[in-house]
Chain A
Amino acid sequence: MGDALLEVRDMHLALPAPGGPRSVLAGADLAVPRGAFTCVVGPSGCGKSTLLGVVAGLRRPDRGAVLLDGRDVTGTTGHAAWMAQDDLLLEWRTVLDNVALGLQVQGVRRREARARVRDLLDEFGLAGHVDARPSELSGGLRQRAALARTVAQGRELLLLDEPFGALDALTRLHLQRWLAATWAAHRWTVVMVTHDVREAVTLADEVVRLSGQPAQIAARYRVDEPHPRHPAGLGPATRRVEQDVLTGLGVLGAPDDAPVPVP
């Protein structure tokens, strides 16, 4: 616990709902070591995005704390690079200017910001689309651009909310494989929300499963297979973890002993 870059302690949050505030997070704890990849899975609508938003500082929790490198950053922003479920590329900026946005916000002049992120665009397979507008990109390229923009901020912690959630299955496989390799080369500290268990066990050192509403940590699963892994070539131990997570989510097993949670 001591060497964790990110610690989330006893997170509680209620959100307005028809008929009064409803508890969405009810005591979530996380500890993510520096350079580790953590995936958060859970039933749809259980509070995964909300949890990520609280860590990013978009919401202040009712109770609990977010610690970055031991420093209390609860309710503040600017300490983590967040990528929303929606890619949120700015239509009026080219790919290069979108990726340079974070540095500009940090006060780097546009010219220099553009120069500094150019290499990243090559690495993210966007070299041929530097001056394209987001509307001219395919879904896969849009996600790459949004990911590049997240990484380009130079933060130690990346928060990714279903980055591949809206992609077709084939593009998704490509990007999962690519991200696995790219991450293995850089070792950013990542917390990634996904509803794809295969994706989670391909990328993560630890998979955290949330219970249904209100969200609590239901289980943690370690994945020890060395990186980078291939989503279509996972080892038997990793496949077993995948089965365990799916069982925990109620997707595997007999329907009557493990009812599928209704979102």
Chain B
Amino acid sequence: MTRGPGRALPVVAGAAALLVLWQVVVAVGGIAPRLLPSPARVAQQAWAHREVLAAHAGATLTVTLVGFSVSVAVAGVLAVTLDRLPRLRAGVVPLLVASQTVPVLVVAPLLVLWFGFGLAPKVLVVTLVTFFPVALGLVEGFAAAGPGASALLATMGASRWQEFAYVRLPAAMPRFFTALRIGVTYAVVGAVVAEYAGAVHGLGTYMTMQRAAFRTDLVLAAVGVCAALTLTLYALTCLAERVVVPWARPRQVRHG
């Protein structure tokens, strides 16, 4: 298992090669910037419009974080409840799966219609798209504890709360963080889609405006900012995982 910079190298090299290829195709083919701007132009224009982009990125980030927090909080309450009530769990998990088939692109404009242009509809969209992986990750995580450890705690005379705190919660953490990593990547996309459907601020709104103005370079610049946001949040989640779930990465091989 290779870790650290060694693993990132091929990714960086691949991305660089793609950018070079793109630059060459645009320059040699003489493609119009409004059809496909060169990466150099996108970068240059992004820098020129950095303040506006940053403001919109801030709005998107707010929606993402609020929506994702709501999602994690609600998923946590639901998962703990379902963990306590196994019969309910069997009925509710399929509903969670079904919730995932709702086409967000169609629902987002409806939510704007119902809740207006404020934070609420956008937060709701982010919650909708991220709720499923997080809730399922927690439900499965609690179940991953297995009956043995719970029996052990029972023989020790543990209360239900102690059993939860000492066994089920920590046992759920690896799966929870896998779910968080998936969820956080959906969250940014969800926020942008919601802004697309109708908003005053945010990268989604900005893309709509720039597309209408045939500023393909700025649309792509906004896409780049989205990607950067997603990658940053993903990296932060991985970092948190290393701190909270250190046992998932054995420090050394077996000995003794």
Chain A residues with a Cβ under 8 A of chain B: 53, 56-58, 77-78, 80-82, 84, 86, 88, 90-92, 101-102, 104-106, 128-129, 133, 135-138, 140-141, 153
Contacts and interface: CB of A to CB of B under 8 A. Distances in A.
A69 B21 CA distance: 83
A141 B157 CA distance: 26
A137 B153 CA distance: 22
B155 A57 contact: yes
Nearest to B253: A136
Interface of B: 148-149, 151-158, 162, 166-167, 170-171, 173, 245, 247, 250-256
A88 B154 CA distance: 13
B156 A136 contact: no
A92 B166 CA distance: 10
A137 B254 contact: yes
A106 to B, nearest CB: 7
A88 B156 contact: no
Contacts of A135: 247, 250, 254
A78 B155 CA distance: 5
A102 B247 contact: no
18 contacts: A58-B151, A58-B154, A58-B155, A77-B154, A77-B155, A78-B155, A78-B156, A80-B155, A81-B156, A82-B151, A84-B151, A92-B171, A105-B157, A106-B157, A135-B254, A136-B251, A136-B252, A136-B254
Given A57-B155, A128-B256, 20 more contacts: A57-B154, A58-B151, A58-B154, A58-B155, A77-B154, A78-B157, A81-B155, A82-B151, A82-B152, A88-B148, A88-B149, A92-B170, A92-B173, A105-B157, A105-B162, A106-B157, A133-B247, A133-B251, A135-B250, A136-B250
B154 A105 contact: no
Which of B152, B153, B173, B255 has the most chain A CB atoms closer than 10 A to its own CB?
Answer: B152
Contacts of A91: 247
B170 A133 contact: no
Nearest to A56: B155
Contacts of B166: 90, 101, 104-105
A55 B153 CA distance: 15
Contacts of A102: 156
B192 to A, nearest CB: 36
Contact of A90 (B156, B162, B167): B167
Given A92-B247, A101-B166, A105-B162, A138 B155 contact: no
A129 B149 CA distance: 22
Given A82-B152, A92-B170, A129 B256 contact: yes
A84 B148 contact: yes
B156 A101 contact: yes
Contacts of A80: 155
A105 B250 contact: no
Contacts of A106: 156-157
A90 B165 CA distance: 12
B256 A137 contact: yes
B209 to A, nearest CB: 49
B165 to A, nearest CB: 10
A133 B250 contact: yes
A135 to B, nearest CB: 5
Given A81-B155, A84-B152, A102-B156, A140 B256 contact: yes
A102 B152 CA distance: 10
Contacts of B245: 92
B254 A88 contact: no
B157 A77 contact: yes
Which of B155, B157, B162, B252 has the most chain A CB atoms closer than 10 A to its own CB?
Answer: B155
Contacts of A101: 156, 166
A47 B156 CA distance: 22
Nearest to B148: A88
Contacts of A58: 151, 154-155
A59 B253 CA distance: 38
A104 B166 CA distance: 10
A149 B4 CA distance: 37
B21 to A, nearest CB: 45
A138 B247 CA distance: 16
